Amino acid sequence: MPNPYNPQEIEPKWQARWEANGLYRSVIDHSKPKFYALTMLPYPSGDIHIGHWYAMAPSDVRARFKRMQGYNVLFPMGFDAFGLPAENAAIQRGIHPKTWTLANIKREQQQLRSMGMMIDWEREAISCLPGYYRWTEWFFLKLYEMGLAYRKKAPVDYCPNCKTTLAREQVIGEDHICERCGTPVFKKDLEQWFWRITNYADELLDFSKIDWPDKIRLAQTNWIQRSEGAEVTFGISDEKLVMSNQKLVIRNEKTVIEEQEPIPPHQSPTTDYSLPITDYSITVFTTRPDTLWGATFMVLSPEHPLVERITKPEYREAVQAYKMQAARQSEIERMSTEKEKTGVFTGAYAINPVNDARIPIWIADYVLITYGTGAIMAVPAHDDRDFAFAVKFGLPIIPVINRVDGLAKSFVMGGTTKSGLLDALTEAGIDFIRESGATFVRLNVEQVDRYAGIVQGHLEPGCWTEIVGARWLFVFEDAIIPFDSIEAEEKIMTRCKALNPEVAKYRTVMEMLWSLPFYRDTLFHAEYGTMINSGPFSGTPGDVAKQRVTEWLAERGRGKATVNYRLRDWLISRQRYWGAPIPIVYCDKCGVVPVPYEDLPVLLPDDVDFMPTGESPLKYHEGFLHTTCPKCGGPATRETDTMDTFVCSSWYQYAYLSPYYREGEPAHSDSIPWDTEEAKYWLPVDTYTGGAEHAVMHLLYTRFFTKALRDAGIVNFDEPMLQLRNQGTILGEPRCGDCVEVTGTWEGAAFRAEGITVYSFKDQATWPPAERGATLVRGEVMDRDDVSLKVQTSEAGELTVVLIDEDMPVAIPGKEKGGTAKDILYHLDVEKMSKSKKNVVAPDELVAQYGADTVRAYLMFGWRWEQGGPWDSQGIEGVVRWVNRVWNIVTEPATPTAGETVSGRELLRAMHFAIKSITEDLENFGFNTVIARLMEYTNTLSKAKSAHYGSPLWDEAISNLLLLVAPVAPHIAEELWAFLGKPYSIHQQAWPAWDPAMLVEDEIEIPVQINGKMRGRVTVPADAGEDAIKAAALADANVQRHLEGQQVLKVIVPNKKLVSIVAKGK
RNA sequence: GGGGCGGUGGCGAAAUGGCAGACGCACCGGUCUUAAAAACCGAGGGACUUACGUCCGUGUGGGUUCGAAUCCCACCCGCCCUACCA
């Protein structure tokens, strides 16, 4: 009698043996092709959760598969070990971050081992160890040497909770909250270190060398957001504004560095930008130079350096107040989603370079100092933001681009026209709607002139109407005035005000038109179209307008074509202790001095006192802070900021090659931070797997890093990871809440609890019925917060609010020590797993119960890997049964069964089909169908067992089963392989091959369709010709029945897969 | 507001121009058992039919095709990302 399957026994046994044999050591072997399979490294928070398993297990399966296919596979693991949670633990619990982190790592290593992954632990890399982070520091020096690292004072995002600055990528959403803790960030002016990722903006937009998901490529493309447009310089009207004639730099630093260290030719232009500005000009960036004639005002960002200089004395107070408010606003939580435009006039005017119009200069917070030049030309007729601003503040709006759809509208108020208008319109074929006396007219552009004539002829004395959209005309009794310029606007408004005193409340034509809802969707558009009202450029077609205007500006020195990016340089400074030190010292004499390569690492001191405020203890550590200047030997202080942890993870794929390379030996400028032999063999990464949430952070940073390393001559390729695949997220399992029976009293509409009895959500069948009485309330808990439960007290879904005392003791079934009201579970639809919701799946418990092999297989089987979905605790049973069936098929002798048998031929076919489909699906990350095909094959083997047990064919069939199972369930496969007496280890065997000839069936069943409907099936020999198939199909009884009284027009046999008959009644 | 992904039995899902629902979960029936569990076998999209079969069915409506879950157009719903980027 063979042993029953006992994963708790065999799994640790084989894990120990594999480890002892070094089965998963990856060493260079030039006789084999290499395969570098990488999966994102965890942050050591203390627990490997089910999400890690979901990400890693299928990646491990695929790495094992590649190995059996004959590749020399590198599948390493490490820990992203610097970061805030460790430091917070230090502050809250008095544990040193290093102690906390290393203890977590130890525990997680055990958990990872229990998964049976083929990790080469000798290549483990932990980013918080000096052997690792000295190279992180080395890269800083290298980038500094290359001019890619620079320090500047800038308004940067600061998280008050994490007490540190953040990179732009780490601030999320409309509310600008911290990526880690969700606290709203605010802008702080600080001296910070930046890495010039923007130098690579264009190259980062090129994905031609990598096979990455569209989703990630799109996210990066949108993040970088390249915009082609022009810089246009506007003069400032009539004032002596600037005290000196020095070059005015809009966004400082950049020019200085450019002059000192010219950018190497392969590097792309940057978003940092400066122009020599005369005393009397402002430069803007626009993507729409073709709309210049419609620029009726300018807006500067409140932080723009010119604001101080141009503001007229009488506006100074208002401008200052607005600047203060704008600065403070980012500190206040942005509660309202309402985004009413705000701004103030500076009193100054600019000169539009195309028509010398004098246009007002405003400041407004909708213009961002961080994008473009921090100043815009406002073209309200063709930009929704400018339009909203102009309407609000009564600024003129002049259309300068024709509508492409040719739509025009006209509103005729009741009583403004004589009778007969409607008949005339009908006769002219013009569309209109009558409603409560008014006429709403829709026209196409060709009808406009005709309509204008008709309506003018019908106007009552002292009345007018207008046409908007494709054409802009004001129709008065005595004149038709085109609305085409600021002058026309004045003329029109004067007339209208004279005719109707009501109009006096409107400052501009557009404001007046905006008051009519009928017009609103026609007043502005942002499409390209033929230029109008643009002086000599009127009539220029939309497809060339932008280019022609740009050329014209360039010829006159008033602008030039420019590319702008949204991407910012990467802010890497963090005001925290637990990170890699920035190897820079500040000397009174020599200024900013890099630590010499030879002196690395700058070690993080262990003996530090953590401030309850979270302030970095490095600032107060005398031994760390004070040092000598490497240049002059004088006193100097160290940089106390550390690097963003994303710096550490930008190069970890290289750290695995030779972890802690040459620790103890001095490094040099020309060192290579890893073993070049290893690098030459293994790099780049062939397949990278992990979550998509890092699309514009880690995944962008690491590409940048590799390109910088390439330019430093350290690597010789452009992209770090050739293929990327993202897994989805496993969400919490939907479940009911507990049922509670509450005694107490009513307090108004709410019920005050005095005693609570809990019926577990697991025993729904035994719940007493819901009830709402004078002293008793009973039902399922639908929601819970600190002070109340929402209890469903009727079938219909009626909810009763039960007030509870947070610490009220409550007996919870299955909870020995007794809990509090907080432990009551509430109803949960699909949500992310979180400890507070008590819907977290603990993988260790699953492994203890089912074994790692089963958990691995279930994680592959249950979901589309790239999609994920809610956890289902029942679904795993199917996999449990399958794994047991595999065990029994191999270990139990055959018993004669009555059921159907399988011929040798069929068994062979099933085997080759399984090999083929599993091979293909593993290659393509189709993990769920891999398990499905394994189950199918196992089912076939069950049926075939009694007939074939003991035969060579049977041996081949089950050997192949185990080989196919090996990557998925490595322990059981190894155990059964040994049971069969085959040589150790199954994981060193070759992946089975399939023979296409074996897949061919003797007979094939072909469906027959008549007019697209299934009408029968015929069985023919596999080698039957088309004519034979047609004949068989037409001979089928059911087919004949359906063809009765029909004429067969056509018979199609595509690929011998199907017969399609086209017939019709005679 | 912009962009992306998706919508197929009670549930997770297969099928990417050719027999819709493979493989599982749950449910139901059977074998075994004193009984239950486990295990094994079996039915099952809906409607009509004793059955053979027929009609309807992949969010909705249209189209292309001998043939559409799959391709095209319009719409509805859900989820995710992004957000005043000039």
Separation between the CA of A1026 and the C1’ of B83 (whole angstroms): 59
- From residue A738, alpha-carbon distances to A732, A782, A839, A1017 in Å are 17, 9, 13, 54
Separation between the CA of A1026 and the C1’ of B17 (whole angstroms): 20
Q: Is the peptide bond before A601 cis (omega within 30 degrees of 0)?
A: yes
Return the closest nucleotide (C1') to the Cα of A938: B23
Separation between the CA of A932 and the C1’ of B22 (whole angstroms): 8
Q: Which residue is nearest to nucleotide B81 (CA to C1')?
A: A219
Return the closest nucleotide (C1') to the Cα of A385: B84
Separation between the CA of A872 and the C1’ of B12 (whole angstroms): 8
Separation between the CA of A865 and the C1’ of B11 (whole angstroms): 18
Q: Which residue is nearest to nucleotide B17 (CA to C1')?
A: A1054
Separation between the CA of A521 and the C1’ of B75 (whole angstroms): 21
**Region of poorest pLDDT, from A354-358, A403-407, A809-813:** A809-813
Q: Which residue is nearest to nucleotide B14 (CA to C1')?
A: A929
Return the closest nucleotide (C1') to the Cα of A935: B23
- Selection from A792-801, A942-951, A1020-1029 with the highest mean pLDDT: A942-951
Return the closest nucleotide (C1') to the Cα of A174: B83
Tens-digit pLDDT profile for residues A346-387: 999 999 999 889 999 999 988 988 888 889 999 999 998 899
**Region of poorest pLDDT, from A247-251, A495-499, A731-735:** A247-251
Separation between the CA of A878 and the C1’ of B26 (whole angstroms): 11
Average pLDDT over residues A879-894: 92
Neighbours of A387 (CB within 10 A): 23
Separation between the CA of A874 and the C1’ of B37 (whole angstroms): 17
Helix-helix angle A876-891:A970-979, to 10 degrees? 10
Query: DSSP code of A963?
Result: H
Return the closest nucleotide (C1') to the Cα of A225: B85
Is residue A191's pLDDT more than 80?
A: yes
Separation between the CA of A711 and the C1’ of B86 (whole angstroms): 33
* Percentage of chain A lying above the pLDDT 70 cut: 93
Return the closest nucleotide (C1') to the Cα of A289: B86
Position A188 scores a pLDDT of 77
Separation between the CA of A220 and the C1’ of B82 (whole angstroms): 11
Neighbours of A782 (CB within 10 A): 17
Q: Which residue is nearest to nucleotide B86 (CA to C1')?
A: A286
Return the closest nucleotide (C1') to the Cα of A364: B84
Q: Which residue is nearest to nucleotide B12 (CA to C1')?
A: A862
Q: Which residue is nearest to nucleotide B52 (CA to C1')?
A: A1038
Return the closest nucleotide (C1') to the Cα of A876: B25
Separation between the CA of A892 and the C1’ of B27 (whole angstroms): 31
Separation between the CA of A932 and the C1’ of B69 (whole angstroms): 21
Q: With the C-alpha atoms ordered A859, A860, A862, A863, is the resulting torsion angle positive or negative?
A: positive
Return the closest nucleotide (C1') to the Cα of A874: B25
Q: Which residue is nearest to nucleotide B41 (CA to C1')?
A: A899
In whole angstroms, what is the distance from residue A277 CA to residue A244 CA? Answer: 11
Tens-digit pLDDT profile for residues A965-1019: 999 999 999 999 999 999 999 999 999 999 988 888 778 888 888 888 888 888 8
Tens-digit pLDDT profile for residues A665-715: 999 999 999 999 999 999 999 999 998 888 889 999 999 999 999 999 999
pLDDT band at A817 (very low <50, low <70, confident <90, very high): low
Return the closest nucleotide (C1') to the Cα of A1013: B67
Position A797 scores a pLDDT of 67
Distance of CA A412 to the CA centre of its chain: 50
3-state secondary structure at position A508: coil
Is residue A173's pLDDT more than 80?
A: no
Position A261 scores a pLDDT of 31
Helix (H) and strand (E) counts in chain A? 30, 45
Average pLDDT over residues A213-223: 91
Average pLDDT over residues A789-810: 78
**End-to-end alpha-carbon separation of chain A, Å?**
71
pTM recorded for the entire structure: 0.88
Give the burial class of A654: count Cβ atoms within 10 A of its Cβ; 0-12 exposed, 13-18 middle, 19 or more buried.
Answer: buried
Tens-digit pLDDT profile for residues A124-158: 999 999 999 999 999 999 999 999 999 988 777 88
Q: Which residue is nearest to nucleotide B82 (CA to C1')?
A: A173
Return the closest nucleotide (C1') to the Cα of A1062: B66
In whole angstroms, what is the distance from residue A298 CA to residue A307 CA? Answer: 12
Query: DSSP code of A767?
Result: P
Tens-digit pLDDT profile for residues A701-713: 999 999 999 999 9
- For residues A920, A922, A924 and A930, what is the CA-based torsion angle, rounded to 10 degrees? 80
Separation between the CA of A864 and the C1’ of B6 (whole angstroms): 12
Tens-digit pLDDT profile for residues A414-439: 888 988 899 999 999 998 888 888 99
Is residue A272's pLDDT more than 70?
A: no
Is residue A274's pLDDT more than 90?
A: no
- As ranges, strand B nucleotides with an atom below 7 A of a protein CB are 3-5, 11-15, 18-20, 22-26, 39-42, 53-56, 66-68, 81-86
Separation between the CA of A364 and the C1’ of B2 (whole angstroms): 22
Mean pLDDT (chain A) is 87
Provide the pairing of β-strand A1059-1065 with A1003-1010.
parallel
Return the closest nucleotide (C1') to the Cα of A373: B86
Q: What share of chain A is helix, strand, coil (3-state, %, to 5)?
A: 40, 25, 40
Contact assessment for residue A714 and residue A673, using Cβ atoms and an 8 Å cutoff: yes
Query: DSSP code of A857?
Result: H
Q: Which residue is nearest to nucleotide B23 (CA to C1')?
A: A932
- The owner of tokens 């500006």 is A553
Separation between the CA of A736 and the C1’ of B43 (whole angstroms): 31
Separation between the CA of A942 and the C1’ of B55 (whole angstroms): 39
